[in-house]
Homo-oligomer: A and B are copies of this chain.
Amino acid sequence: MNLTPLAERFVLHFGEMGSRWGVNRTVGQIYALLYISGKPLCADEIGETLAFSRSNVGIGIKELQAWRLVKLVHLPGDRRDFFEPPKDVWDIFRVLMEERRRREIEPTLSMLREALLERPDSEADQIAQDRMREMHGLIELTTGWLDEVQRLSPETVIRLMQLGAKVQKVLEFADKLKFGARDGGEA
């Protein structure tokens, strides 16, 4: 399979950005190719198109599966494994957020939780623990909020985003009518 210049630009860009997103060039390019192809591809097609060795494609696909960014599908009458990303771009976004959180946030949250259980036995520890407590609070608040948002329908989330800063007015209004909006305790 040969790439059009348009497709090639997209693929090369994802390859270069890969390192900033925590994957290597191969993985970035493979994902980009699957994303714009609009149909499932098999490892050989991918390797041929991007000029990667067969094993390299295999490793890259495994990594993308670990990220839940591509899934295995089978075409009738073909025993090879084909791969495609989730159809819906919002689905991709959600998965990406979840995985990044799992890899980039959760380990730190655990570490902070444990560290905060200990009794500080010096002034330096006291200060360090105060700082950790601040960080812990911030992470708890933001990830807790993410949990809540994930329970909303995509449509509601989209509406919320389109609302933008106007949400403040809605909040003020809610306050004025004692809507109970102040109570964020049980969240």
| Residues on A facing B (Cβ under 8 Å) | 4, 6-7, 9-10, 13, 17, 20-22, 35-38, 89-90, 93, 103-104, 107-108, 111, 115, 118, 120-122, 124-125, 127-132, 134-135, 137-138, 141-142, 144-145, 147-149, 151-152, 156, 158-171, 173-174, 179, 181-182, 184-185, 187
Contacts and interface: CB of A to CB of B under 8 A. Distances in A.
Contact of A165 (B10, B141, B152): B152
Contacts of A128: 4, 6-7, 10, 36-38
A164 B124 CA distance: 36
A12 B153 CA distance: 40
B161 A17 contact: no
A94 B93 CA distance: 21
Identical copies in the complex: 2
Contacts of A121: 4
B163 A184 contact: yes
Contacts of A184: 159, 161-164, 166
Contacts of A37: 127-128
Nearest to A89: B134
B115 A6 contact: yes
A170 B163 contact: no
B187 A163 contact: yes
Contact of A131 (B38, B147, B158, B179): B38
